[in-house]
Amino acid sequence: MKIRADYHMHSRYSGDCKNEIEDVIKRACELGLKEIAITDHGPAHDGYGIKRQDYWKIKAEIDLLKPKYPQIQILLGLESNILGTEGEIDLDDEMREICDWVNAGYHFGSRLKKDFGFHLVNFMSRFSKHFYQKAVEQNTSAVVNAMKRNEIHMITHPGAKGPIDIHRVAQAAAETGTMLEINNSHGHLTVDEIKVAKTYGVKFVVCSDAHKIEKIGIVPESIKRAVEAGLTVENIYNAESE
């Protein structure tokens, strides 16, 4: 099994990445990928997020490069932040108009609108059973509501930055037609989580979450977990047989 596309990667517009967009595209072409989405972090994160006004700069840069690399489809994406139990994300209507591919994930340190204890509960969940249970509740509501109220292509690294109830997340993903990521850079979804999600008929996406050029399109860990969980190319949106 191999991938024909990668829908999760960052550029220098994210605070935690230095990749030039053209270098990202060049590398994807070298690997023979047919499609990529450049998915920088949403603006509601002071450390990693893009400046909101830069979103139009990213689009302009991509539009300028498209004719130079006709062998690949280049999508303007975003890894939006899930900002609380009601499922708010930091992709507003104006940004949505130009966005081709919407990822959403929870990140520690994002700028919450309410639910101000949200990050603290996730932090404390590592030390206490009581907080772990609370974290599962809040994170599951956040991800499920995000899928219900927004049009999202893919939930990034479900469960990696805070525990979730995979049954409820998978059920909502199947109902809303939202795909779940098997992230190569983070351990989630785990093999067991993939097995559960599969029983609900979820569609999966295998992605690199590359912050470095050499990691683009490289997903051995994801594929290993997918195969171990019994997935085939039919279950994975961007996979094909070798």
For residue 28, CA distances in Å to 22, 74, 79, 175, 180 come to 10, 10, 19, 32, 22
Region from 42-50, 102-110, 138-146, 173-181 binding Zn ion, contact rule CB under 5 A: 102-110
CB of 10 to Zn ion, least distance (A): 6
Among 40, 61, 79, 181, binds Zn ion (CB under 5 A): 79
Among 42, 77, 105, 159, binds Zn ion (CB under 5 A): 105
Q: Show the DSSP H helices in 31-153 as ranges.
A: 54-65, 93-98, 118-124, 129-149
CB of 39 to Zn ion, least distance (A): 7
Q: Of the two residues 138 and 156, which places its CB atom closer to Zn ion in the complex?
A: 156
CB of 108 to Zn ion, least distance (A): 10
Residue 205, SS3?
strand
Q: What x/- string results for residues 192 through 221 when contact with Zn ion is judged by CB under 5 A? A: -----------------x------------
CB of 50 to Zn ion, least distance (A): 12
**Binding status of residue 6 toward Zn ion by CB under 5 A:** no
Q: Of the two residues 211 and 233, which places its CB atom closer to Zn ion in the complex?
A: 211
Using CB under 5 A as the binding criterion, the count of chain residues that bind Zn ion stands at 4
Do 23 and 213 meet the contact criterion of CB atoms below 8 Å apart? yes
CB of 12 to Zn ion, least distance (A): 14
Q: Of the two residues 233 and 237, which places its CB atom closer to Zn ion in the complex?
A: 237
Distance CA 97, CA 91 (A): 10
Tell me: cis bond preceding 189? Omega within 30 of 0 counts. yes
Q: What is the rounded (10 degree) CA torsion for 108, 112, 115, 120?
A: 30
For residue 16, CA distances in Å to 1, 10, 52, 197 come to 30, 8, 16, 30
**Quick one: which of 199, 203, 195 has its CA closest to 178?**
203
Q: What x/- string results for residues 110 through 149 when contact with Zn ion is judged by CB under 5 A? A: ----------------------------------------
Kindly state the tokens that stand for 63: 């539009």
Q: Which positions touch Zn ion (CB under 5 A)?
A: 79, 105, 156, 209
